[in-house]
Amino acid sequence: MVLAGQPVGVMFPTYKMLSEVWREFVNTFAPLKKDKSEQEHRLELITGGVIEMWSAEAADAVRGRKYKRLIFDECAMVGNLLDIWNAVLRPTLVDLQGDAYFKSTPKGRNGFWQLFSFGQDALNPEWKSWQFPTSANPTIPPSEIEAMRRTMPEIIYRQEVLAEFVDDQGGVFRRVQEAAVLDPREPETNRQYVAGVDVASSVDYTVVSVLDAESKEMAYLDRFNRVDYPVLIDRLAGVYRRYNLTSMTVEANSIGRPVIDELVKRGLAIVAFTTTSATKQAVIQALQAAFENGVIRVLNNPILIGELLSFESKRAPSGSFTYSAPDGMHDDCVMSLAIAWHAISAERWFFSSYD
């Protein structure tokens, strides 16, 4: 990119990390150097390209720049990564329609995890993400990797060598990976299915989770957004008829109520679920227990798994818990699954109407 005459920005978590890489860049591009500023960490090349390096410790200094490419190294170390990206770095790519690369060893389910999750979502085609263990580097002897496996604590080995986003101990749902082993299944005759629906408001997603009422296994997940209202109704009705549902439990909040009314007009058996702090706590804790006790199995779907693993809880002064996705992320898959699990657990799947 820089060899083609374009400006490139490179950011690091700390000034110390920047300084170490800066020296390497200066030596590498020495034959092409036109001008250099040690104070500004700015390198101009005879190709017309420019490299500028920044520390996230003073991220606001980047405001007003224009880049064709932005590279953020070891960005998982930056606690306010999403704030820096949205408020400071993203605007620098607008004028030249540039792109950005975020590189890092995982550090739990933080801002870097959220950006990685964007790349795993087929509904975000502008994002892509990849995950490579240390063994993918051909210059590192396998014997070194094996030595680390033997001597490192497992959780450290998984994070630092296998490049895994290790579950935070404070997460709501445990044993998710053990349960997420299923592939979507076509409906079978003589099986009863129920579905839970979280209806999108604006930027969120409408999600339908279909469960086998007897085996309590997830059979299907549909997730979509930004569709016209008639298309949304048709899509929900299509899932209902495809799986010959006994009932479909739909969140009644916001636009959920008119959706429910329209589905009932079509003769579908719909159960309304009103989300309050109390009902949300109840269904989330029921789903939490299902994973903990190993009585539920779900689809091996990266978006669903990501939402489950990043879902958070906070204790209120009253002693009750509030549940939500981290800032900037979604919990539509979690709520859809929780509503579907509630429908089975409450033995409401034989109802023929709502209200």
Instruction: Name the token pair of 220.
Output: 């299907």
Flag whether pLDDT at 298 surpasses 90.
Answer: yes
**CA separation for the pair 72, 14 (Å, rounded):** 11
**CA separation for the pair 1, 52 (Å, rounded):** 13
Identify the band that residue 349 occupies on the pLDDT scale cut at 50, 70 and 90. Answer: very low
Reported as a single tens digit per residue, the pLDDT across 77-121 is 898 899 999 999 999 999 999 999 999 998 877 889 889 999 998
What is 176-345's CATH number, 3.30.420.240, 3.40.50.720, 3.40.50.970, 3.30.230.10? 3.30.420.240
List residues bridging with 42 in a β-sheet: 37, 52
**CA separation for the pair 14, 173 (Å, rounded):** 33
Mean pLDDT on 152-172: 76
- pLDDT at position 345, please? 78
Q: Is 1.10.3130.10 the CATH classification of the domain at 2-104?
A: no
Q: Which residue has the tokens 């975000």?
A: 124
Reported as a single tens digit per residue, the pLDDT across 111-152 is 898 899 999 988 889 999 999 999 999 999 999 999 988 887
Amino acid sitting at position 243: Y
Write out the residue limits of the CATH 3.30.420.240 domain(s) in the chain: 176-345
- pLDDT at position 227, please? 86
Instruction: Name the token pair of 86.
Output: 């949205």
- pLDDT at position 54, please? 95
Reported as a single tens digit per residue, the pLDDT across 2-25 is 888 999 999 999 988 999 899 999
Whole-model pTM?
0.65
Flag whether pLDDT at 348 surpasses 60.
Answer: no
Write out the residue limits of the CATH 3.40.50.300 domain(s) in the chain: 2-104
- pLDDT at position 162, please? 92
Reported as a single tens digit per residue, the pLDDT across 17-59 is 999 899 999 999 999 999 999 999 999 999 999 999 999 999 9
Sign of CA dihedral 167, 170, 171, 177: positive
Residue with more model confidence, 284 or 349:
284
Percent of the chain with pLDDT over 90: 63
